């Protein structure tokens, strides 16, 4: 068994006031992030998407197995196929599978089975969970904590896209097996996790008038004060 190898941590301690400023600036920037459903077809350089994916790849993962694979799609023909398949699943969902309480929860957001942004936006990024890696001898190596790891990486990706000055939409049609087929991914090793729509907002883009929960609603401190 190979002995673990360690290298010095690259870390710079910051004064408390600098930390507070950085944390506040980061939080304020993310407060401006919104999910968008009206996209422009304005091109986005591939180099920007590459950097966002590299940022996503810095996420922590169980045993550092990095159980994710990203497929970045700009080809119009592939986006058209994805839209057709996604809308077919969404129609069935809205008309037959979705419970009424879920439909009621979605209504204020104005969502339905029509997904034109899947063709309009310059980039779609399909995120796959890599459950196994095939070893050179043909055996499959199982990965662990895959959902948690890929969820964290996807969060990094969304933040990176926002930091780059773009907008995104998380799309999770159910089921998503069509992504495996259309994109030619290995069925025995991976499964689709999420489809991220990325680009510039349309000039007339509008977003729901919603608010986010306050700190006291999403966090608890023990002890309560210091």
**Residue 31 counted as domain residue:** no
**Residue 68 counted as domain residue:** yes
**Residue 33 counted as domain residue:** no
pLDDT tens digits, residue range 180-226? 999 999 999 999 999 999 999 999 999 999 899 999 999 999 998 76
DSSP state of 27: H
What CATH number corresponds to the domain at position 116?
Answer: 3.40.109.10
pTM: 0.92
Cα 211 from Cα 201, distance rounded (Å): 20
pLDDT over 90 percentage in the chain = 82
**Residue 179 counted as domain residue:** yes
**Residue 158 counted as domain residue:** yes
**Residue 6 counted as domain residue:** no
Burial of 158 (0-12, 13-18, 19+ CB in 10 A): buried
Q: Print the domain residue range for 70.
A: 44-203
Tally of structural domains, the chain: 1
Tokens of 101: 């309480």
Q: Which residues contact 213 (CB under 8 A, 6 or more apart)?
A: none
User: Tell me, what's the pLDDT at 225?
Assistant: 79
**Residue 30 counted as domain residue:** no
**167 strand-pairing partners:** 199
Instruction: Kindly report the backbone phi and psi dihedral angles of residue 214, in degrees, each rounded to the nearest multiple of 5, phi listed first.
Output: -80, 165
Cα 53 from Cα 161, distance rounded (Å): 9
pLDDT tens digits, residue range 91-147? 877 776 767 887 777 777 777 778 999 999 999 999 999 999 999 999 999 999 999
**Residue 226 counted as domain residue:** no
């Amino acid at each position: 068994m190979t002995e673990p190898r360690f290298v010095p941590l690259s870390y710079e301690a910051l004064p408390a006031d600098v930390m507070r400023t950085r944390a506040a600036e980061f939080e304020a920037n993310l407060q401006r992030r919104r999910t968008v459903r009206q996209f422009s077809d304005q091109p986005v350089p591939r180099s920007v998407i590459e950097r966002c994916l590299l940022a996503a790849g810095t996420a922590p993962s169980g045993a550092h197995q990095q159980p994710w694979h990203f497929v970045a799609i700009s080809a119009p023909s592939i986006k058209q196929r994805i839209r057709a398949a996604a809308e077919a699943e969404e129609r069935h969902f809205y008309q037959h599978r979705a419970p009424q309480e879920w439909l009621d929860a979605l209504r204020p957001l104005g969502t339905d089975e029509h997904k034109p942004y899947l063709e309009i936006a310059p980039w779609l990024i399909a995120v796959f969970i890599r459950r196994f890696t095939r070893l050179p001898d043909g055996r499959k190596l199982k990965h662990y904590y895959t959902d948690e790891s890929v969820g964290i990486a996807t969060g990094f990706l969304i933040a990176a896209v926002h930091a780059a000055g773009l907008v995104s939409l998380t799309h999770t049609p159910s089921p998503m097996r069509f992504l495996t087929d259309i994109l030619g991914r290995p069925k025995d090793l991976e499964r689709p996790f999420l489809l991220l729509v990325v680009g510039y907002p349309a000039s007339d883009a509008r977003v729901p008038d919603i608010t986010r929960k306050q700190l006291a609603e999403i966090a608890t401190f023990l002890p309560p004060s210091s």
